Chain A
Amino acid sequence: MPDSLLRMTIDISKIRKDFPILEELIHGKPLVYFDNAATTQKPRQVIDKLIEYYYKYNSNIHRGVHYLSNKSTDGNENARIIVQNFINAKHSHEVIFTSGATESVNLVANSFGDRFIFEGDEVIVSELEHHSNIVPWQLICERKKAVLKVLPFNDQGELMIEKLDELITDRTKIIAVNHISNSLGTINPIRKIIEIAHAKNVRVLIDAAQSVQHKKIDVQELDVDFLVFSGHKIYGPTGIGVLYGKEELLNEMPPWKGGGEMIQEVTFEKTTYNELPYKFEAGTPNYIDAIGLGTAIEYVENIGIQNIDAYEQELLKYATEKLLSIDGLRIYGTAKEKTSVISFLVEGIHFYDMGMLLDQMGIAVRTGTHCTEPVMQHFGIDGTVRASFSFYNTKEEIDALYNGILKVCKMFAVK
């Protein structure tokens, strides 16, 4: 999309004013925040909403008879509907609030695993997964004496989807795979994965922690069984996340955590459980952050996820060309379909050194394994520097990163 067209749809300078943190100085320099894949910054609208609720409406939700409790309950349930519409779930009770994508995966691994995974069964994850979509499955496989199998990726960082068919057997129960890789930025062909899996009666969990903020997701159209994401990566508060699950599956699954709202009736002989979604929401829910997440989603939808994606793709293209012009710089993750994440190393310069020196210039990048050690092992490296862009970033900031890297290279050249 040409610049002029984008400017009609996205006014970056106006958007930047919505994010107070972007005005901060770091080590005396303007902040360049390129750690968006780890967490995104929050717009004023979200921050104000949290403050408003704590100032005026806070009260524990559900079963309250008084005004404030009803107000908070309404806010929480309204947020659930916002999420439902955002991912186009059939029912609002298919949206379970959790503490984040990690907890959502753990919930499915434990509850689905308890009900459906038995000795000798198989779970498939991909080599591209975040540890949060590996370890919960390892734990359940160990407990159930099931087998964890791995779908590999090629050197561009693309899943070798042609191997999926042969990997699936009649013992395969579920495939858990990310939509977008957090360390390489690869966009995985989840539609195809779901098709292949469903043809063999295998369930699919999609980790959308890195995709809901970039791509429009329609769970009904995808026909996905489970989908998880975190609020803080889509401009919402920390500590709130979502598990979407198909109603019939969630109904068949046992509760994972006990206590609070998840019960219907408790006696010492037998406890009966509440209906969806409350069956999976034990304890006082994080309702204020759920309300904040609702506001964040409204904010994103107001700008338009397609507009966001188009602009971020433009940033990715610009940054990729610019960074590749640096001598000795190698980008890890060169998939055809990528989101605005660039993982790189400069020959002879350790990622920690690069990250520390960029920090001195006010540039925030992430360094290390990005919780994807198997991805690093694939490339035979200990880690990378990762710059991840959001729609509030600018080409000028990418220039700052480019100049920053050159400066670091120069510091190392004169050693």
Chain B
Amino acid sequence: MTINEIQEDIIEEFAGFEDWMDKYAYLIELGTDLSGLDEKYQTESNLIKGCQSKVWFNASLENGVVKLEADSDAIIVKGIAALLIRVFNNQTPEDIMNADLKFIDEIGLKQHLSPTRSNGLVSMVKQIKMYGIAFNHVSK
């Protein structure tokens, strides 16, 4: 599936929720289910430290596609990280580089990605994009 197709899927899924509790309960579920990052990757260099919550994030290039892993101490943040991984995992660096990230706004989670939130998610998105650019450069 392309990045946009996955985003459309997520938007459709969230449209089905009747109220905020359903939406957040789902995020909690996603956060709980995300396997997270092996402890050996929970290093200082993989840590994006916000003053509210921590995000650990690891990216690698395998067979021409980007592999992403993430973890957070806050479950809602981890749930949103799970959505970001679902969108960008196994995509090519070029597609990641050119992607237009729109689903966060559309499912009403924009507040979590505002630069002042300090939860690490903004930096995570930036880093995913940076990896896209860097891996794109490497794979050429």
The answer to whether A and B interact is yes
Q: How large is the interface on B (under 10, 10 to 19, 20 to 34, 35 or more residues)?
A: 10 to 19
Chain A contacts with B in 26-80, Cβ cutoff 8 A = 27
Chain B residues near A353 (CB, 8 Å)?
A: 28, 74-77
Stretch at the interface among A247-255, A291-299, A407-415: A407-415
Q: Give A173 to B112 CA distance when docked, in angstroms.
A: 45
Nearest Cβ on chain B to A409's Cβ, whole angstroms = 12
Q: Give A277 to B117 CA distance when docked, in angstroms.
A: 39
Q: Nearest 7 A-B pairs (CB), nearest first?
A: A350-B74, A352-B74, A352-B53, A360-B20, A352-B52, A415-B32, A353-B76
- How many chain A residues touch B (Cβ–Cβ < 8 Å)? 19
Apart from the given pairs A352-B119, A353-B75, 11 other A-B contacts in the complex at a CB distance below 8 Å: A349-B75, A350-B53, A352-B77, A353-B74, A353-B76, A356-B24, A357-B76, A360-B21, A360-B24, A369-B51, A407-B21
Q: Give A414 to B29 CA distance when docked, in angstroms.
A: 9
A350 and B24 contact, CB distance less than 8 A: no
Q: Give A411 to B19 CA distance when docked, in angstroms.
A: 14
Does chain A have a CB within 8 A of B73? yes
Does chain B have a CB within 8 A of A374? no
Chain B contacts with A in 50-80, Cβ cutoff 8 A = 51-54, 73-77
Nearest Cβ on chain A to B109's Cβ, whole angstroms = 10
Binding site for A on B (CB under 8 A): 20-21, 24-25, 28-29, 32, 51-54, 73-77, 112, 118-119
Q: Give A411 to B54 CA distance when docked, in angstroms.
A: 22
Nearest Cβ on chain B to A234's Cβ, whole angstroms = 25
Nearest Cβ on chain A to B103's Cβ, whole angstroms = 18
Nearest Cβ on chain A to B14's Cβ, whole angstroms = 15
B52 and A411 contact, CB distance less than 8 A: no
Please name the residue on chain A nearest to B77 by beta carbon.
Answer: A352
Nearest Cβ on chain A to B42's Cβ, whole angstroms = 14
Please name the residue on chain B nearest to A373 by beta carbon.
Answer: B51
Nearest Cβ on chain A to B79's Cβ, whole angstroms = 9
Chain B residues near A136 (CB, 8 Å)?
A: none
A412 and B28 contact, CB distance less than 8 A: yes
Please name the residue on chain A nearest to B19 by beta carbon.
Answer: A360
Does chain B have a CB within 8 A of A383? yes
Nearest Cβ on chain B to A259's Cβ, whole angstroms = 32
Chain A residues near B74 (CB, 8 Å)?
A: 350-353
Chain B residues near A349 (CB, 8 Å)?
A: 75
The listed residue with most B CB atoms (<10 A of its CB), out of A353, A360, A411, is: A353
A350 and B20 contact, CB distance less than 8 A: no
Does chain B have a CB within 8 A of A367? yes
A415 and B28 contact, CB distance less than 8 A: yes
Instruction: Select which of A352, A368, A407 is within 8 A of B76 by beta carbon.
Output: A352
Q: Give A27 to B29 CA distance when docked, in angstroms.
A: 22
Instruction: Select which of A27, A357, A383, A415 is within 8 A of B52 by beta carbon.
Output: A383
B24 and A414 contact, CB distance less than 8 A: no
Nearest Cβ on chain A to B55's Cβ, whole angstroms = 11
Chain A residues near B76 (CB, 8 Å)?
A: 352-353, 356-357
Q: Give A399 to B5 CA distance when docked, in angstroms.
A: 44
Does chain B have a CB within 8 A of A223? no
